[in-house]
Amino acid sequence: MESTAPAPAITLRPLSAPAAIPAAPGSAVAPAGETLIDIDHVDFFYGAVQALHDISLHIEHKKVTAFIGPSGCGKSTLLRCFNRMNDLIDGTRVASGTIKIRGIDIHRPDVDVIELRKRVGMVFQKSNPFPKSIYENITYGLKLQGVNNAARLDEVVEKSLRGAALWNEVKDRLHTSGLGLSGGQQQRLCIARAIAVEPEIILMDEPCSALDPVATAKVEELIQSLRERYTIVIVTHNMQQAARCSDSTAFFYMGKLIEYAPTRDIFMNPASPQTEAYVSGRFG
Amino acid sequence: MASPAPADSAHFIAHKGKFRLFGLTLDTCIKVFFGGNAVVSIIVLALITIFLFREGAGFFGQNRQNLKVYREAGLEYVDFIRAQQDDHTALTRYLSDLRLRQFQHFTQHQHLTPAAANAALAGFDEFAGQYGDAVEPLRTLVSDLTEQATAIKERFTVMEDRKTERAQLLAAGKAQAAAEVGITPVDFVAELKPILGTLPAYREASADLAKRLAGIVAAAPAMPTPELQARLDRFRQLTAEYLAGFPAVARNLETWDYRRPVPATQEFSAFLFGREWVTASFWQDWYGVIPLVAGSLMVSLVALVLAVPLGVGAAIYVNQIASPWEQRLIKPCIEFISAVPSVVLGFFGIAVLGQTLRALSQQTWLAWVPGFPYSERLNILTAGCLLALLAVPTIFTLAEDALNNVPRSFKEASFALGATRLQTVMRIIVPASLSGIISAVLLGFGRVIGETMVVLLCAGNRIAIPDFTAGLAVITQPVHTMTGIIAQEMGEVVQGSIHYRALFVVGILLFFLSLAINYAAQHIVRRYRISIG
């Protein structure tokens, strides 16, 4: 759903807001930088249940942004708004507010969802390679776009797998099933699959929650190398992970954005007492 | 409230479990009751299987006897000549077809009146008449031989009946009466002599036929169009081939020996690969299952060709595309189809579908459809359409289950990569559930091949192998099926006769077929579960 009548406050708002100011719930602002995703006073409903309350934040280009917060706080819901994956769930709607990517409201009726999802890739909580070969998993997105040139596909497969730090482990068995890989490898395969279609933004929904520490370390390392080319938004329960990987961190609680600031500030010098309580492990 | 004294509770515990029925505790009784139910169903299944096999087992021995008598009574010998006569009949049918085409040509293209067309065909009629009459000496010979061979067989049957009677009397302890039953043994050598003695007569008749046919064909009248002329040339060629086969027949007759044993495998191969199912015949009964198997498979094939797209398509729609209220509407509707009694469907097939399809087939704008127009209202197509209706709920329900088992995460991953709904369904959901869908189709096949009432009522019940040379038009021919023949003939056979046992063997074959289909379906589903992880 797109809001038909944006509030005056939204239209008047400058694209880049001043840096980390301790924010009241619902009106947090982004750190300085080029804004890629602009979330403006978004209310989101599952049927009659409101999951997001008046969320506003700016996500910067080619940065890693982490969403943290206790379970059910709405961080995954917000993430899934960016590529409109929530459309797949019946009865969901963005009741008011706008989400703009490069200045374009993604809920506008003339927005092509298919095109949007090509540009906004996603990695899920549970690794979900297709029951196909590794090669076919990577080429799936390209074939959807009608790319059938074998040489080009080979090239993309190698590039994506190298990009996902998986090439050396699987180069000899590209045509075996993707389900035969270990959990961590499967998750990196899913990342490779996402970057094969060259998105601008990669959304990661708790990508390491099902992985052991070694596999987690590899994925985090991979995130570090991806930040040069992609804008990454990562939802995580693991605060160390947010601290290690991200440039900015947003803390959500009960469907509200409590605080959004550079990661260092969130962990070292949180403005809100709730954030402080959460990051220091006193609740959540 | 006062708490019960320790002595009271001890008393209570001691009493628990004292209830006994026939020395069993209540728990054991319940266990025996439920266990008993399970055991009863297994025992019944085992009894049915044993009964099937017991009744069917005797068939092969009897079939061997049947084939032996066929040879020893000289029926086989006569059939060599009869085949020669039948081939000639087939050629005369070709001629009648050719006459019909000429007649159509004259009336439709040259606009002659029917009388004038018949007059124009007078020359051809004379030619065809001569051709048909040429076989007369051979036909006389065959009918003489048929009488003789039937007589031998009859004597043999009487002897067998007497033997059975005596055995029954002996078993009943009436030795006196048994001794009085006179058995005249059949002396096949003596009986066959007159039959074998006709060989010179056959040679003469055959040579005469060959000479006359060659002469008649050479003097065939010219055809009015090149197309018909080509057909006549083809006829000449067929006749030449027919004549070229004569020496082989003569050789068969010369080398034929009634003493040659019937090989032990023939009683099985005559059943499994026999191309004829002829029962209660004055001449010779054949129990070849091929026409029935072919009929069952053809009807099932047509049914599946229709039911698979419908069932799987509906499953994909309901599972992947439909809105919740559509799901609530469509699912019960499709599942309701299986509640329609199949006899009602069969009735509908005769009264409505058969009529409608035939009327449709006779529309000129549908003449391009293979097999159209046709005149047999009940045929493979009619039965196949109805069976498809019966298979749809099975296929739909199982395919929908299979689609449901595809993890939601596959779908999400596909959408997240920018796939449309159709791409997701065709490239991810269907391949991932393919083994489940295949097993759904197999179980639908099992449902269809075991169905009786619909095919009995609607398949046309003509016991013949469908003529596959007709191409796709084969589906407009009537057939008989394995299930149909059992239902139709079981009521009127003599218990214990070879015919009765043959029907049981057909039942066993059907049983194994269903078993194999079910096993294959389960096997595929098991593999599929593993592959999803």
The mean of the pLDDT values for chain B is: 85
Residue B405 one-letter amino acid: N
Residue A112: closest CA among chain B residues belongs to which residue?
A: B418
Any residues with CB less than 8 A from the CB of A164 and at least 6 apart, and which?
A188, A189, A191, A192, A195, A222
Read off the tokens for B27.
């728990």
Give the C-alpha separation, B493 to B491, whole Å.
Answer: 6
Average pLDDT over residues B173-178: 78
Please give the ipTM for the structure prediction: 0.82
Q: What one-character DSSP code corresponds to residue A86?
A: G
What residue numbers bound the domain in which B28 lies?
22-72
pLDDT tens readout for residues B377-431: 888 999 999 999 999 999 999 999 989 988 888 888 999 988 888 889 988 898 8
Q: How far is CA B185 from CA B72, B77, B160, B170, B338, in A?
A: 13, 21, 9, 19, 58
Residues B253 and B382 in one domain: no
- A124 Cβ under 8 Å from any chain B Cβ: yes
In a domain, B258, yes or no: yes
Whether residue A167 is contained in a domain is answered as yes
> Quick one: B362 and B218 in the same domain?
no
What tokens appear for A151 in the block? 């040489």
> Mean per-residue pLDDT for B66-71?
83
Residue in chain B lying closest to A177 (CA)? B531
For residue A8, tell me if it sits in a domain: no
Q: Are residues B63 and B85 in the same domain?
A: no
Q: Give the residue from B259, B230, B203 showing the smallest Cα distance to B80.
A: B203
Does residue B514 lie in a domain region?
no
Residue numbers in A near B414 (CB within 8 A): 130, 140
Question: A112, A114, A177: which to substitute to probe chain B, counting the most B Cβ within 10 Å?
Answer: A114
What pLDDT sits at residue B384? 93
Same domain, B453 and B371: yes
Q: B228 — contact with chain A (CB < 8 Å)?
A: no
Round to whole Å and give the CA distance between A149 and A157: 12
- Spatial neighbors of A130 by CB under 8 A, at least 6 apart, are A136, A137, A140, A178, B410, B413, B414, B428, B432
Joined together, the tokens standing for residue B59 give 């068939």
Token couple for B367: 């003449």
For A62, the 3-state DSSP assignment is coil
Query: Does B516 map to a domain?
Result: no
Domain shared by B101 and B228, yes or no: yes
Separation in Å, CA of A278 to nearest CA in chain B: 30
Residues B99 and B182 in one domain: yes
Distance from CA of B468 to the nearest CA of A (A): 40
CB B531 within 8 A of CB B435: yes
Residues B95 and B52 in one domain: no
Contact B413 A132 (CB under 8 A): no
Contacts of B531 in chain A (CB under 8 A): 131, 179
How far from B59 is each of B55, B66, B181, B294, B494, CA to CA, in Å? 8, 10, 27, 21, 13
- Domain shared by B48 and B136, yes or no: no
Q: How far is A261 from chain B (nearest CA, A)?
A: 28
pLDDT at A121 over 50: yes
In a domain, B169, yes or no: yes
Tokens of B427: 């490239």
- The 10 Å Cβ neighbour count of residue B373 is 15
Question: Structure tokens of A241?
Answer: 């992970």
Q: Which pLDDT band holds residue A13 (cuts at 50, 70, 90)?
A: very low
Q: Is residue B9 part of a domain?
A: no
A254 and chain B in contact, CB less than 8 A: no
Q: Positive or negative, the Cα torsion across A14, A20, A22, A24? A: positive
- The distance of A279 to chain B (nearest Cα, Å) reads 31
Q: What is the CATH number of the domain that holds B425?
A: 1.10.3720.10
Q: Are residues B483 and B345 in the same domain?
A: yes
> Is A276 within a domain?
no
- Asked whether residue A102 is domain-assigned, the answer is yes
- Cα-only R_g, chain A: 19
Q: Looking at the domain assignment, is residue A278 inside a domain?
A: no
Residues B87 and B229 in one domain: yes
Q: What is the CATH number of the domain that holds A138?
A: 3.40.50.300
Residues B195-218: b if buried by 16+ CB within 10 A, e if exposed: beebeeebeebbeebbebbeebbe
State the average pLDDT over residues A174-195. Answer: 88
Q: What is chain B's Cα-based Rg?
A: 33
Does B175 or B308 have the greater pLDDT score?
B308
| Final residue before a domain boundary, out of B209, B238, B263 | B263
Task: Please state the domain count of chain B.
Answer: 3
Q: Which of B57, B72, B87 is the last residue of a domain?
A: B72
Report the domain count for chain A. 1
pTM: 0.77
B531–chain A Cβ distance below 8 A for any pair: yes
- pLDDT value, residue A282: 76
Chain B residues in contact with A128 (beta carbon < 8 A): 407, 409-410, 412-413
B6 pLDDT more than 90 = no
Domain boundary among B72, B106, B134: B72
Claim to verify: residue B231 and residue B349 sit in the same structural domain:
no
Taking CB atoms and an 8 Å limit, are B418 and A145 in contact across chains?
yes
Q: Is pLDDT of B178 > 60?
A: yes
Query: B184 lies in a domain?
Result: yes
Residue B519 lies in a domain: no
For residues B398 and B325, membership in a common domain is answered with yes
B285: in domain: no
Q: pLDDT tens digit string along B265-278? A: 888 888 888 888 88
Domain that holds residue A177: 26-267
